[in-house]
Amino acid sequence: MIGINCKIHDRNTLEFKIGYQVPEGTAFNDFEMCTWIYIPEALDVNRHTYSRENFYRDMLSYMRLITPVYPLEMLAHSAELPYQLLEKACKTIVAQPTKQNQVDYEKEIKSYASIFKSSLRDTCKHLVTVEDSRLPILVMQMVEQIRQVHHNYRSLFEYLQKNGLDSSLMIYFTYGDEFLVNTTEQHLFKMLKRMKEDRPMMYKKILPMVSVLMDENKQYAQQHDYMLPEEDSPDDNAQFVYHAGQLKKYMESHLYLPTHKRRNAVFLEQVVFSLAAGLSMVFATVISFAFQQTYGNFTLPFFMALVISYMFKDRIKELVRNYFANRLSSKIFEYRININVDDMKLGWCKEGVDFLTSDKTNPHSLKVRNRHSPLVIGRGTEEQIVFYRKKIHLNRKAVGKMSAYPLQGVHDIIRYNLYEYMRKMDNPQVPLCVNHGDGEMEEVQGNKVYYLNFVFRLKDAHNKLYRRYRVCLSRVGILNIEEIE
């Protein structure tokens, strides 16, 4: 299976998360992602002003394992796999603090914390959509489940301290404990904020239940000297933001997959360049032989012919190189990315990018783009189209060996910076006139916005789906993103 989520990462950057799920019973899985970016002509982003090097510079892509899915209700039970693996790792490190056991102990702490984060996030997202009659009961259940998860984890904390685990190893468990505190605060606050904005009456009902847990969480953090955000922080909580970010990256580091990126089809590229050199040399040789036969050696016409033929030889070489390079770029992938963990090969990924014209663009992509307005298609100019494609090959057996948990597959997280698209935009606001009648007029400000359209085609062995996202942006940054059905 294959799916996609999109969100605004920061003012200038979009984030696309593509999930490649590898089903049981298959040895290898192949996936394909094609992206068409439809760009307004007014932004002057085209093959002459925005090269492939610019595109890859603005894109950050990395892969990570999909976090094992456990509902919060299951995670709260000590008989479930997450707690069982964590408990086993803690008892093993106390009995035998070997290097390998230390690695396993640290990994299980990260796994448990990451699973809790995903479980709580999904629970909070679900609760904001629950009908009013069921919401208070479900919120109360969530609060008790969070308390139980914290209790289970902290009971192992006490066990490690009681058995005299070295402080250099206790620090890892402390990091996990602090991460649980931060994650709880973060997601409960987001849920309450959303409820306050969209459902104020239900917000008032659930606030007492949630605030009690948040107060307990804060008190616990203060007792253990964990960093917390402050209202009157002298550095505007810069240290907390930095520390929380480092803690998050550390806790999720076991999910990220190391990759090695290199040029693809290097041999074919050299063959093409050699062919270009050969064709240009044929031209120069033919001219030289023809003038030599006509005028003989060591004559002025023969000398001039040699000079001119070599001048054209270099130009022909470059023209043929550029022709073949442009023709091949739309057919082959430019980069190959190997996904390896130690000596285990999980798979590979290939990627390529090019500018296309409408007549060379996938017809179904144009249909999904739905460019029907005369204001768009009747101005004598066309949208520019960037075509970015990826092919992913995954080894199901190797992915399964990565963890004792039942892993679903990998996430490909793509962050794309749109600053270059904003470089030539007009001022973000324009003055407008509102006529109230009878000579009464008022000046107001209007936002000057532009729209980019991203069309995705996601394909695996059994499914193919298209998704369209419209991005609203101005010179100050990205304003909104919405999926167009």
Q: Are 181 and 159 in contact (CB under 8 A)?
A: no
Nearest of 455, 451, 453 to residue 478 by alpha carbon: 451
Q: Are 474 and 428 in contact (CB under 8 A)?
A: yes
With tokens 């069309």, the residue in question is 455
Strand arrangement of the beta sheet that strand 409-417 belongs to: 2-10, 13-21, 409-417, 59-65
Q: Would you say how long the chain is, in residues?
A: 485
Strand arrangement of the beta sheet that strand 384-395 belongs to: 259-263, 335-341, 344-356, 384-395, 28-39, 450-459, 464-474, 477-484
Q: What is the pLDDT of residue 380?
A: 45
Q: What is the pLDDT of residue 271?
A: 64
d(CA 89, CA 274): 58
The residues of the chain scoring below 50 in pLDDT are 378, 380
d(CA 179, CA 157): 14
Residue 414 has phi, psi (to 5 degrees) of -115, 125
Q: What is the pLDDT of residue 214?
A: 94
- Using only C-alpha atoms, the chain has a radius of gyration, in whole angstroms, of 30
Q: What is the DSSP letter of 370?
A: T
Q: What is the pTM of this model?
A: 0.81
d(CA 52, CA 352): 9
| Residues with Cβ within 8 Å of residue 31, at least 6 apart in sequence | 2, 20, 391, 392, 393, 394, 458, 459, 460
Q: Are 473 and 417 in contact (CB under 8 A)?
A: no
With tokens 């959303």, the residue in question is 194
Q: What is the pLDDT of residue 273?
A: 64
